[in-house]
Amino acid sequence: MPQIAQLASTYASQVFWMLMVFGLIYFGIAKTMLQKVESTMDSRDSKISDDLAAAEAAHKAAKEADEACQSRLAKVRSDAHARLQAAKEQASKDAAKQNAVANADYDHQLDSARMRIADEKAKAMVDLENIAADAAQDILKHVIGKSVPKDQVTKAVSHVISADMV
């Protein structure tokens, strides 16, 4: 068969030129495109590593800032606690002073009230003795029919009232 014999020569030249074209395309791509792809990949790798380094540095800076903030916050809290304690102590001292002043004023008012009460009681007792002496003098006048001197009646009423008080 003569057609089969032609196949080998025809396909051989086609296979040769196909390999040549594919080889040229392969080496063309390898020399031009592959360099661009490699440079892009290298730049991406370097960008990623730079970004990771920057993120690590930012993380470290944030951690340091957080530690500094926590230490400042602890210091502020302790200062606030100390101020609060001082304010409580000062308020307690002020309250004690005000309480002492109020107690002194209360004691003064109480003493003056007791003195007024004692004065009023003494006046009432004098008035009571006078009223009792007048009443006793009137009773004696009606009972015995004679008038008894006022100083004797007053003395007797005073003696009776004093004896009842004890």
Mean pLDDT of 145-162: 82
Name the band, by pLDDT with cuts 50, 70 and 90, for residue 165: low
**Residue 166 in this model has a pLDDT that exceeds 60:** no
Q: What is the pLDDT of residue 105?
A: 93
Q: Summarize pLDDT for 122-153 with one digit per residue, the tens.
A: 898 888 888 888 888 888 888 888 888 888 88
Sign of CA dihedral 61, 65, 71, 72: positive
**Residue 113 in this model has a pLDDT that exceeds 90:** yes
Is this model's pTM higher than 0.85 or not?
no
Q: How far are the Cα atoms of 114, 126, 151 from residue 134, in angstroms, in the given order?
A: 30, 12, 11
User: Distance (Å, rounded) from C-alpha 68 to C-alpha 74?
Assistant: 10
**H helix runs in 29-149, sequence order:** 34-144
**Residue 82 in this model has a pLDDT that exceeds 60:** yes
Work out the mean pLDDT of the chain and round it to a whole number.
89
Q: Summarize pLDDT for 25-38 with one digit per residue, the tens.
A: 888 888 888 888 88
